[in-house]
A = this chain, B = another copy of it.
Amino acid sequence: MTQSREEFEARLRRIGAERYHDKHPFHDLLHSGGCTPTQVRAWVINRYAYQSAIPMKDAAFMSRVEDPALRRAWRSRIEDHDGTDTNEGGIERWLRLADAVGLDRDYVASKRGILPATTFAVEAYVRFVRDKTLLEAVAASLTELFAPKIHAARIEGLLANYAFADDSALSYFRNRLSEAPKDVAFGLKWVLDHADTAEKQDAAAEALIFKTNVLWAQLDAISAAYVAPGRIPPGGWQPDTHLIAVAA
């Protein structure tokens, strides 16, 4: 039976409450100051896979949108990540975080050393957006509904607990605090407007669950490799390699 707009929105929010990766133990470790420098670096390296793929995901979406107005509204997501004349962009900000934790940014940007499981999860997301309905693609983006809370917790936790953390290093998260709500307000309205049958509501909810899995799987991969008794798979980044000197 088709849910009302309010019921359906509540259903989507419940998915976040139950499955968003703020619940993952690695985030507790990270935000509480429990991560070693190696674990922080492994997270920065692996999370770059996701950051760098997001504009490709958004371009894949736009390549399937017939409506110029929808493409125009969506384009700012790519600008937020790839940058503009007046905005360095999220990818560059992530590389500043890499600098701050003492990683060679060229190594991070090369994407060598990223765990295969991380890459597979990210690629699954890009492929999902390329292959599924536009509704499912937009619904998958709605994890942004739950992002501001985790970004705020992250800024607070990293600042309190790690010497590397300062405004420059954390500018990625600070910017997402304003960018994500704008995107998700648009995306949520679009999904609520277009999921007008029970079948579409189910598909949209499944898409959001899929996306929470994409995020969760990345933290599982990082934990399995770098949290004791971790086993780093062949080709994965080795601790204490590709470092640069940073101010103490």
Which A residues lie at the B interface, using CB under 8 A?
Answer: 52, 55-57, 59-66, 68, 71-72, 75, 78-79, 81-84, 89, 91-92, 111, 126, 130
| Nearest CB of chain B from residue A235's CB, rounded to whole Å | 18
| Consensus secondary structure, chain A interface | helix
- CB <8 Å contact, A82 and B89: no
Which residues of the other chain, B, contact A57 by a CB distance below 8 angstroms? 63
- CB <8 Å contact, A63 and B60: yes
User: Could you list 11 examples of A-B contacts with CB < 8 Å?
Assistant: A55-B62, A56-B63, A57-B63, A59-B61, A59-B62, A63-B126, A68-B89, A72-B82, A72-B83, A75-B75, A75-B79
A63's partner among B63, B71, B72, B111 (CB-CB below 8 A) is: B63
- CB <8 Å contact, B66 and A52: yes
Which residues of the other chain, B, contact A126 by a CB distance below 8 angstroms? 63
- CB <8 Å contact, A91 and B63: no
Contacts beyond the supplied A60-B60, A62-B78, A72-B84: 18 A-B pairs with Cβ under 8 Å? A55-B62, A56-B63, A56-B64, A57-B63, A59-B59, A59-B60, A59-B65, A59-B71, A60-B63, A63-B63, A63-B126, A63-B130, A68-B82, A68-B83, A68-B91, A71-B78, A72-B83, A75-B79
Closest to A57 in B: B63
- CB <8 Å contact, B52 and A71: no
Which residues of the other chain, B, contact A65 by a CB distance below 8 angstroms? 56, 59
- CB <8 Å contact, B72 and A75: no
Q: Which one of A62, A68, A82, A111 has the highest number of Cβ atoms from chain B below 10 Å of its Cβ?
A: A68
Which residues of the other chain, B, contact A111 by a CB distance below 8 angstroms? 66
A68-B89, A75-B82 known; A59+B63 contact, CB < 8 A = yes
Which residues of the other chain, B, contact A91 by a CB distance below 8 angstroms? 68
Complex alpha-carbon distance, A72 and B55, angstroms: 10
Complex alpha-carbon distance, A68 and B83, angstroms: 9
A52's partner among B68, B81, B82 (CB-CB below 8 A) is: B68
Closest to A73 in B: B82
Closest to A51 in B: B68
Which residues of the other chain, B, contact A75 by a CB distance below 8 angstroms? 75, 78-79, 82
